[in-house]
C-alpha cells in the first residue's frame, strides 16, 4: 500500500469509529465524514508517516493512529475556523463549508467530536506501547490547545496586541511540530531532536500560505482569498514583497533539510521535503497551483 | 483536605497549566479560568472522587487528574451549549456566559481548549500507571464525543426524529457514567461494574433538571428557564407531571444505590448518593433550591 492509501485508510477507519452504528445522530455522523474526506494534500499526516518510516516504523499501528489523529485535529480546526464568528467562509476545499452544508450547531459539534476522536484514536493503541502512546497524546494536546497550540494561535487574533513569534508558531507551526515529533515517537525515538524540522516546515507553510493568499484567485485555492488583508492579519508578502517572500521560503526549507536528525531514512526524508519545497514555491503570480489545499 | 478543596485544587492546577506563562493570548487564558471557576456543585468530579475513595484511592494523583479532566469537559460543554447557535444563553452560573463576557470566537476557543486540556491533564499522569490512564482517556473520550458521548447527545437535537433513549443517555448520562467508571479505574478497579451507578445517577439528574426547568425561576437557577419548552425538547415533567416526575426520581435513585458494586467504601458511597437525592428532590414548586447549578 502506498503512503497516500495508507493515510486515507487510517483516517477513514478512525472516522468510522466515531460514526458508530445503530442509534447515532445521522447528520452529525455524516458531517464527520464530510469534514475529513475528500481531504486536501494530507500534508501533516504525510510528514508524520514519513518521519516514522525514516525512523524504522516498528509499530505501524501507532503511526497510523498518529496520522489519523493529527489530520482529524487539523480538519476540526478548519471547521471551527470557517464558522461565521471567525472567517465566515462559505467554501472549503471546493465545496460548501460544514456550517453551510449542515448548520452552525452541527459544525461546532463536528469540530468538538473530531478533537475528542483524535485522542480516542490514540488511546485505543495504548496496549501496543503505553509509553509511546502517552507521549503522542501529550504532544498532540500541547500542539492543539492552550497555551502553545493552534487554539492559542487562533486566540491571538482576539488580542489588540499580537506577539508575532508566538502567534505564528502556535497558529501554523504547532501541527507541523506535532507531525515530526509524533512520527518519531511512534517509531520509538525521542521527540526533542525533531522539533526543529517541524518548526521550519511550519514556517515555510506560513510563508507559502501568505503567498497563495496574496497571489491566487478563489477558484484556484478552493477558498476565499485576501483573508489576511480583510482580517488585518500579519502576512509575509506585505512585509517582504513577493520575491522577498519566495526567497525567504527557500531559505527556511534549506534549514529544514539541514535540521533532519540522523536516522536510517534521512536521505529519503530530505528528498520528500525537497519535493514539497518545489510544490510550495509559486512559479509566478496567478499561475494555477498544482495543489489547492494544504 | 476535604473533598471540595481537593477537587477545586485539582481543577485550578489543571487550568493553570492551560493558561501557561509568558507569551500566551491573555484573554483566552483568562476565559479558561472564567469558564471553570467559580464552579457549580462540581457534582461529576465529586462522584468520580467518591467512587475512587470507595475503591481505596491508591493513586490519588490519577483521581485528581480524572476529576479535573471530567469537570473541564463539562465546563467546555456548557460554554459551547450557551453559544448563540445553540441555547443563545446570556447567563450561566449567575454571571454572563463566556461568549457574552469575552466574545463568540473566544467562547468557541475556550471550549476547544478545555476539551484538549482534559486529555492533556490525564496524559501527564501516564507514568504513574499507564494502563489506568489509557483506560481513563478512552472512557472520557467515549463519553464526550461521537457516537455515544455528550456531542452525540447534542447532535440529536439537530435531528427531525430523536431516539429518546440514546439521546438521554448521551446528553446527560454520559458524563455520569464517565464519573463512576473513571473513579473506579483511577483506583485500579474494572470499569464495567460501575456503569449502572453512573447511568442511574445520570437519569436522576435528567429528571431533576426537567423539574427545575419546569418549576424554578431564572434568578434561582442562575440561567434561563423554560428552555425545554422553548426548544421543543422532551421533558419528564411534560410526560409524567410534577408528582410523577418526583416519584420517578426517587425510584431511580433507589436503583442507583442498589447498583453500587461491592467495595470497601460501599456504605459511605450509598450515603453520598442519598444526600444528593435529598438535595435533588424539589420540596415544592417555586421554593428556592439549595443548589443552583449542576
Q: Give a yes or no: residue B81 inside a domain.
A: yes
Share of chain A above pLDDT 70, in %: 90
CB contact under 8 A, A146 and B108: no
Domain count, chain B: 1
pLDDT of B156 reads 95
Using a CB-CB distance cutoff of 8 angstroms, which residues of chain A are in contact with residue B141? 116-117, 119-120, 123
The larger pLDDT score, comparing residue B219 to residue A142, is at: A142
> And the C-alpha cell for A273?
521535503
What's chain A's average pLDDT? 90
Beta-bridged to residue A91, according to DSSP, are A96
How far is it, in rounded angstroms, from Cα A211 to Cα A243?
10
Whole-number pLDDT of residue A103:
98
Residues B178-194 as b or e (16 or more Cβ within 10 Å = b): bbbbbbbbbbbbebebb
Position A288 in a domain? no
A232, pLDDT greater than 50: yes
Span A44-94, pLDDT tens digits: 999 999 999 999 999 999 999 999 999 999 999 999 999 999 999 999 999
To the nearest whole angstrom, how far is the Cα of A132 from the nearest Cα of chain B?
Answer: 10
The answer to whether B206 and B172 have CB atoms below 8 angstroms apart is: yes
| Domain CATH for A227 | 1.10.600.10
CB contact under 8 A, A116 and B141: yes
The residue of B17, B25, B122 whose CB has the most chain A CBs within 10 angstroms, and thus the best one to mutate to test that interface, is: B25
Nearest CB to B130: which of A18, A76, A131?
Answer: A131
C-beta neighbour count of B88 within 10 angstroms:
13
How many angstroms away from the CA of B266 is the closest CA of chain A? 30
Closest listed residue to residue A117, CA positions, set B199, B119, B82 = B119
Question: Quick check: B149 and A116 CB within 8 A?
Answer: yes
Report pLDDT for B288. 43
User: Residue B147 and residue B246: Cα distance in Å, rounded?
Assistant: 31
Q: CA nearest A260: which of A4, A58, A50, A6?
A: A50
Mean pLDDT in chain B? Answer: 90
Q: What is the pLDDT of residues B145-190, one digit of tens each?
A: 999 999 999 999 999 988 888 888 898 899 999 999 999 999 999 9
Q: Looking at beta carbons, which pairs linking B217-225 to residues 24 or more positions away fall under 8 Å?
A: B217/B286, B218/B91, B220/B288, B220/B289, B220/B292, B221/B289, B221/B292, B221/B293, B222/B91, B222/B92, B222/B93, B222/B94, B222/B292, B222/B293, B223/B89, B223/B91, B223/B92, B223/B93, B223/B293, B224/B87, B224/B89, B224/B90, B224/B91
Three-state secondary structure call for residue A50: helix
Please report the pLDDT score of residue A228 as a whole number: 64
The predicted pLDDT at position B286 comes to: 46
CB contact under 8 A, B158 and A23: no
The answer to whether B73 and B118 have CB atoms below 8 angstroms apart is yes
CA distances from A72 to A117, A145, B59, B167, B190 (A): 8, 14, 32, 25, 30
* A147–B105 C-beta distance less than 8 A: no
> What integer is the mean pLDDT of B117-134?
96
Q: What is the mean pLDDT of residues B273-287?
A: 70
B280 pLDDT higher than 90: no
In this predicted structure, the answer to whether residue B261 has a pLDDT above a threshold of 70 is: yes
Identify the residue among A31, A112, A138 best suited for mutation to test binding to B, counting B beta carbons within 10 A and taking the highest: A112
CA–CA gap between residue A134 and residue A183 (Å, rounded):
13
Of B27, B133, B290, the C-alpha closest to A156 is: B27
Does the bond joining B144 to the residue before it have cis omega, within 30 degrees of 0? no
Do residue B120 and residue A142 have CB atoms under 8 angstroms apart? yes
- Chain B residue numbers with beta carbons less than 8 Å from the beta carbon of A89 are none
Q: CB B113 to CB A156 under 8 A? A: no
For residues A85 and B221, give the distance between their C-alpha atoms in angstroms, rounded to a whole number. 29
pLDDT of A104 strictly over 70 = yes
CA distance A265 to A184: 12
CA dihedral A206, A114, B193, B171 (to 10 degrees): 130
Residue A99's pLDDT band (boundaries 50, 70, 90)? very high
Out of B28, B127, B148, whose CB is closest to A158?
A: B28
DSSP H or E run through A206: helix A195-215
Residue A225, C-alpha cell as written in the block: 482569498
Count of Cβ atoms closer than 10 Å to residue B219 Cβ = 11
Q: Is B293 a member of any domain?
A: no
Chain A positions touching B148 (Cβ under 8 A) are 20, 24
- Give the number of other CB atoms < 10 A from CB of residue A165: 10
Candidates A25, A86, A163; nearest CB to B158? A25
Measured CA to CA in angstroms, residue A43 lies from A48, A50, A59, A145, A192 at distances of 9, 10, 21, 20, 21
Identify the band that residue B219 occupies on the pLDDT scale cut at 50, 70 and 90: low
SS3 state of residue B91: strand
pLDDT tops 90 at residue A217 = no
Residue A285 within a domain: no
> What does the pLDDT average to over A263-292?
73
Q: For residue A80, what pLDDT is reported?
A: 98
Q: Provide the 3-class DSSP secondary structure of residue A97.
A: coil
By the 8 A CB rule, do A136 and A150 touch?
A: no
Q: Residue A92 domain-assigned?
A: yes
Count the alpha carbons within 13 Å of B263 in the hemisphere toward its beta carbon.
27
- Residues of chain A contacting B149 with CB distance shorter than 8 Å: 116
More confident residue, A240 or A230: A240
**DSSP code string of B50-61:** HHHHHTT-S-HH
Is residue B294 situated within a structural domain?
Answer: no
pLDDT one-digit tens code per residue, B225-250 = 666 665 666 688 888 999 999 999 99
Structure confidence at residue A239 (pLDDT) = 85
pLDDT digits 0-9 by tens, B17-68? 999 998 999 999 999 999 999 988 899 999 999 999 999 999 999 999 999 9
What is the chain A residue with the closest CA to B146?
Answer: A18
**Domain presence at residue A76:** yes
Closest Cα of chain A to B126: distance in Å?
Answer: 6
Count of pairs with CB atoms under 8 A, one residue in A, one in B? 201
CB-based contact B103 A19, cutoff 8 Å: no
Radius of gyration of chain A (CA): 18
Please give the average per-residue pLDDT across B93-120, as a whole number.
97
Nearest C-alpha in A relative to B156: A25
ipTM: 0.91
Position A276 scores a pLDDT of 80
Tell whether B292 is covered by a domain.
no
- Residue A23 confidence (pLDDT) above 60: yes
Q: What is the mean pLDDT of residues A143-172?
A: 92
pLDDT of residue A106: 98
Domain that holds residue A211: 3-280
Of A25, A156, A163, the CB nearest to B152: A25
Nearest-CB residue to A108 (from B83, B117, B130)? B83
Q: Which class for B70: exposed (0-12), middle (13-18), buried (19 or more C-beta within 10 A)?
A: buried
Instruction: Choose, out of A22, A27, A109, A166, the residue to mutate when testing the contact with B (most B CBs < 10 Å).
Output: A109
Contact present, A8 and A71 (Cβ < 8 Å): no
Give pLDDT tens digits for A123-152: 999 998 999 999 999 999 999 999 999 999
**Tens digit of each residue's pLDDT (9 = 90 or more) over B187-207:** 999 999 999 999 999 999 888
Contact in structure between B101 and B34 (CB atoms under 8 Å): yes
Q: Is the pLDDT of residue A197 over 50?
A: yes
Q: What is the DSSP letter of B217?
A: -
Phi and psi, residue A16, nearest 5°: -60, -35
Amino acid at each position: 500500500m502506498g503512503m497516500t492509501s495508507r493515510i486515507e485508510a487510517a483516517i477513514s477507519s478512525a472516522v468510522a469509529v466515531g460514526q458508530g452504528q445503530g442509534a447515532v445522530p445521522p447528520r452529525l455522523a455524516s458531517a464527520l465524514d464530510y469534514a475529513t474526506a475528500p481531504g486536501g494534500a494530507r500534508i501533516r499526516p504525510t510528514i508524520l508517516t514519513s518521519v516514522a518510516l525514516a525512523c524504522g516504523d516498528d509499530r505501524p499501528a501507532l503511526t497510523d493512529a498518529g496520522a489519523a489523529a493529527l489530520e482529524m485535529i487539523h480538519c476540526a480546526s478548519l471547521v471551527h475556523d470557517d464558522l461565521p464568528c471567525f472567517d465566515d467562509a462559505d467554501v472549503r476545499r471546493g465545496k460548501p463549508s460544514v456550517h453551510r452544508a449542515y448548520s452552525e450547531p452541527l459544525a461546532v459539534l463536528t469540530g468538538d467530536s473530531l478533537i475528542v476522536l483524535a485522542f480516542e484514536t490514540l488511546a485505543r493503541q495504548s496496549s501496543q506501547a503505553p509509553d509511546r502512546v502517552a507521549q503522542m497524546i501529550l504532544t498532540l494536546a500541547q500542539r492543539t490547545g492552550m497555551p502553545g497550540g493552534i487554539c492559542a494561535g487562533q486566540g491571538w487574533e482576539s488580542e489588540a496586541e499580537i506577539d508575532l513569534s508566538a502567534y505564528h508558531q502556535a497558529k501554523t507551526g504547532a501541527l507541523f511540530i506535532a507531525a515530526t515529533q509524533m512520527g518519531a515517537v511512534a517509531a520509538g525515538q525521542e521527540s526533542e531532536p525533531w522539533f526543529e524540522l517541524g518548526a521550519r516546515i511550519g514556517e515555510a507553510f506560513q510563508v507559502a500560505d501568505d503567498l497563495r493568499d496574496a497571489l491566487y484567485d478563489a477558484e484556484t485555492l478552493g477558498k476565499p482569498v485576501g483573508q489576511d488583508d480583510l482580517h488585518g492579519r500579519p502576512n509575509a508578502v506585505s512585509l517582504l514583497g513577493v520575491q522577498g517572500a519566495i526567497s525567504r521560503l527557500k531559505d527556511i526549507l534549506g534549514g529544514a533539510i539541514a535540521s533532519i536528525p540522523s536516522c536510517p531514512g534521512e536521505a529519503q526524508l530530505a528528498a520528500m521535503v525537497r519535493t514539497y519545497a518545489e510544490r510550495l514555491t509559486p512559479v509566478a503570480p496567478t499561475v494555477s497551483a498544482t495543489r489547492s489545499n494544504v
